[in-house]
Copies of this chain bind each other. A is one copy, B any other.
Amino acid sequence: MEQQPLELFPFLANTPYTEMTLSKGAWMFREHEGCGRIGFVIGGSVKIFKEHSSGRSITLYRLGPGDSCILSMSCAMANPIHQASAVVEEDCRVLTVTTDQFRSLMERSSEARDYVFGLFASRLTDVLLLLEEVVFRRMDERLASILLEHAVRRGSDEIHTTHEQLAEEAGTAREVVTRVLREFVSNGLVIVGRGVVTINDRKGLARIGR
């Protein structure tokens, strides 16, 4: 799994960077914070999300190896404030560069620019898709999709998570997750236990989640 630092980001070759390890639960940045360094993920995963004073949250997307943080870049290039928070989900190795180094890299390297444009475009696409889901789709459909995504990411139909965490991911309340899961159970789509949801009928879930 572990890669040489520059395999994923060859355009960083002539830029001074710092390699570091972040362990699960560490904050990469918080919403409304200014920008320190720009991170390029080599291994592990990072969850990008928004939270609200009511205590609810919603997950926007995740960073994996080869990703880097468009929100920090956005801070560096234009809007000086982070628009969401980032926390490490699985222990992470990241390269970081300063905002100045990043800006100069953007001037020098057309490869780096292509990478960043592509990243901007795909994050914008992600967020627009999420917005569409939130506005137009029902909770059972969204939760079905989320469960399937988890199964794919972890390569297992046993998803180790709590109703609370699923609610934070979907942007809803725990009680709603409980209700929807109860419905899924009674249709034989999943089996639930304390801290674990096991998918029992992938195709059935996929029919709901589209």
Contact = CB atoms under 8 A, between A and B. Distances in A.
Contact of A132 (B52, B107, B120): B52
A78 B117 contact: yes
Interface string A87-112: 00000000000000000001100100
Contacts of A54: 136
A125 to B, nearest CB: 5
A74 interface: yes
Interface in A91-146: 106-107, 110, 113-114, 116-118, 120-125, 127-132, 134-136
Interface in A36-78: 50, 52, 54, 56, 58, 60, 70-71, 73-74, 77-78
A178 interface: no
Contact of A79 (B56, B121, B127, B131): B121
Nearest to A128: B83
Given A83-B129, A113-B113, A129-B83, A124 B120 contact: yes
Given A83-B129, A120-B124, 10 more contacts: A52-B132, A56-B136, A74-B121, A74-B125, A79-B121, A106-B113, A117-B120, A120-B120, A127-B131, A130-B131
9 contacts: A56-B135, A58-B131, A60-B128, A78-B121, A106-B113, A113-B113, A117-B120, A131-B131, A134-B135
